[in-house]
Structure 1
Amino acid sequence: MEYVLQTNAVKKYYGNYHALNGLTMRVPKGSIYGFVGKNGAGKTTLIRLVCGLQRPTDGEVNIYGIGHEDKEIFKARRRMGAVVETPSIYLNMTAEENLKEQCRILGMPSFDGIAEILQLVGLENTGKKKAKNFSLGMRQRLGIAVALTGNPDFLVLDEPINGLDPQGIIDIRELILKLNRERGITVLVSSHILGELSKIATHFGFIDKGKIVKEMSAVQLDNACRKRIEITVSDAKILSRVLDGLNIEYSVKSDTEAEIFGEIGVTELTLKLHDEHCDVKRMCEHSESLEAFYINLLGGKSNE
């Protein structure tokens, strides 16, 4: 598998405070990597190191196969776009003026593509309206537009939906999916709002106390959080025999209780159990959320 970003045992100390404690992570090319952690877990610190805003105390940050100490790292970072903490925009400029200024900063020879970017983020009709008069969601989208100037293929977004209203959250979510699916942009997005990440991420990295405690794909997470039916019957042995006959995965918890995984025909199961003189006393469907998985993983409380 090809990785856009890899870090190896990265540490970052501020005096006696250890923000990162040997963090190792891998962001696959073409993925939407959900960087999950509580406030203060080290997400923004890592992102600042990736963007070159700070240097690690120890360890290596590797972008497109180039280490942060390599003189070529500057070229690698030119392939990135980022919104770190708050959008870097000029409030007294229009959306178009902001993008033109970014073109000048990057040394781009023309303003070609600005109209396309504004349309992509839904700001094509803002005209002469200054950014200071934009809603928070519009400012976030303008920040992403600025980050897209220069045609990056790796986008880093630090808490992009913080403080947004429901419509703003939907807009940013749809924009991230569009950039990934239509433009093939790899996205590293950090957030402590786990429900939103679960809707877009293809891969996850769970960070706590400056370390990655687990990395997994969305498919692996779905399997870990898969739906199950908790069932209570008069005799779990009979239930096991019936489920074996139906080729359904299950787990027996006691003489009368079991968990059934996957799709089942409730009516068919109930009738077969009735024929075997086994009564169904209770049946309830459950599925673990990303938040619940995260809490169980860390053995603590969520900070959403």
Structure 2
Amino acid sequence: MKQYLIETDHLTKQYGEQKSVSDLSIHVKEGRIYGLLGRNGAGKTTTMKMLLGLTKPTSGQIRIFGKSVSGNEKKILPRIGSLIEAPGFYPNLTGTENLGIFAALRGIPDRNAIRDALDLVGLPYKDKKLFSQYSLGMKQRLAIALAVMHDPELLILDEPVNGLDPIGIAEVRSFIQALCRERGKTILISSHILSEISLLADDIGIIDHGVLLEEESLAELEQKSSRHIRFFVSDTAQAGRILELRFHEKRFTIQDDHRLIVHNLNLPTGQIVKAFVENGLEVCEAHICEESLEDYFRRVTGGEGIA
């Protein structure tokens, strides 16, 4: 059985009659960036809070580093860095002074930990600028410095680019990527910004109204949203066999019993339809689709789309 750094099994959080998260099963691979994508209120923050033990699941299981979180919190949680809500930094202190307080509270012995964390996010060490004078981008970078100060193996970041201007977003994006590519960190990041997740993540989970709609690599999602030939037929299993035997084509995806997508646009659509009909299949739809990633997300989330 394949091991994942984070694995949830039918994770559910219910408040009264309302399910904030419903039967969520996600799989985060080591050394990769996993983007949890969904509109505001989709259940992303609640999911992350359950992973970190900040709220208790109604039902379901959480495994991190191959172990159940329940009963192993003291072993697992110190290996995680997180940014869920804005930390309570003191406005009248510098970034270095603020991190110094947190380092003392957490018992971090490494004297270079603060300098290294600030270097990592591009903030100066022992600068005289007070936190109250920081831009939004600098404040967000300091929050991530706090998350990585103890050199965790796993980072859980909730909307880390929220509220930033384009320059700040690009800065945060670059060092999140560096944390993964150069430092080997595994990162779970949430966002409602489709364009940003598509630039950052290796794998994506789409969550809507607490339900996981899709989970796959970014490359697989981009393939789904690229140009393709879409068929709606009476029996996709038989249609797949015809494609392989008659047209020697294996680049197709069977979505369900009736929907099939062919990724090779060079195939003769008319001849395929004819072969399907000759073999007793009913063909209700056959056309070339050109769908953007945004169009795809709008379709799977029920029409509203994601920013």
Q: TM-score, normalised by structure 1?
A: 0.78
Q: Distance in 2 between matches of 1:287 and 1:2?
A: 36
Query: How far is the alpha carbon of 1:125 from its aligned partner?
Result: 5.6
The 2-side partners of 1:108 and 1:211 are apart by 38
User: Given that residues 121 and 142 in structure 2 are in contact (C-alpha distance below 8 angstroms), is that contact kept between their aligned partners in structure 1?
Assistant: yes
AA aligned opposite 1:35? L
Residue identity opposite 2:23 in structure 1:
G
Shift of 1:202: 0.3
Greater displacement, 105-114 / 38-47 = 105-114
Counterpart CA distance in 1 for 2:126 and 2:108 is: 23
CA–CA separation in structure 2 for the residues paired with 1:182 and 1:287:
36
Aligned: 1:43 with 2:59:
no
Q: Percent identity?
A: 39
Cα displacement string for residues 121-140 of structure 1 (whole angstroms, at most 9, x for unaligned residues): 01116702111111111110
The alignment yields a C-alpha RMSD, in angstroms, of: 2.3
Corresponding residue number in structure 1 for 2:83: 83
Q: For each residue in 1:3-38, what CA deviation from the matched residue of structure 2 results, as whole angstroms up to 9, or x when unmatched?
A: 111111111112222101111111111110010111
Structure 1 stretches of 4+ moved >6 Å: none
Contact 1:89 1:142 (8 Å CA) reproduced: no
- Are residues 116 and 225 of structure 1, via their aligned partners in 2, closer, same or farther at CA, if it must alter by over 3 Å? same
> SS at the partner of 2:5?
strand
Q: What is the deviation of 1:58? A: 0.7
Task: State the partner residue of 2:238.
Answer: none
Q: Is the 8 A contact 1:10 1:23 kept in 2?
A: yes
Counterpart of 1:61 in structure 2 is: 62
**Cα drift, residue 88 of structure 1:** 4.4
User: Matched residues in 2 for 1:249 and 1:107: separation?
Assistant: 60
Spell out the pairing of 1:213-228 with structure 2 (5 A cutoff).
213-226=213-226
Per-residue deviation, 1:252: 4.9
Task: Note closer, same or farther for the CA distance 1:125–1:40 as it changes in structure 2 (3 Å cut).
Answer: same
Aligned residue for 2:157? 157
Residue 201 of structure 1 is matched in structure 2 by 201
Contact kept, 8 Å, 2:34 with 2:201, in 1: the verdict is yes
2:46 partner letter: T
- What is the deviation of 1:111? 2.3
CA shift in 2, pair 1:302/1:86, >3 Å: farther
Tell me, in whole angstroms, the C-alpha distance in 1 between the residues paired with 2:88 and 2:26.
26
Conservation of the 8 A alpha-carbon contact between 1:6 and 1:63: yes
Deviation at 1:226, TM superposition (A): 3.1
Deviates more, 1:61-70 or 1:88-97: 88-97
Aligned to 2:117: 117
Partner of 1:52: 53
Q: Is the 8 A contact 1:87 1:144 kept in 2?
A: no
Are 1:87 and 1:142, in contact at CA under 8 Å, matched by a contact in 2?
no
**2:141 paired with 1:132:** no
- Counterpart Cα distance in 1 of 2:159 and 2:52: 15
Report the counterpart of residue 172 of structure 2 in structure 1. 172
Unaligned runs of at least 5 residues, structure 2: 230-248, 250-263, 272-287
Q: Map 1:251-266; keep pairs closer than 5 Å.
A: 251-252=267-268
1:191 maps to amino acid: S
Equivalent-residue separation in structure 1 for 2:306 and 2:225 (angstroms): 20
Structure 1 residues without counterparts, runs of 5 or longer: 230-243, 256-284
Matched residues in 1 for 2:188 and 2:11: separation? 17
The residue aligned with 1:250 is 266
Q: TM-score, normalised by structure 2?
A: 0.78
SS at match of 1:184: coil
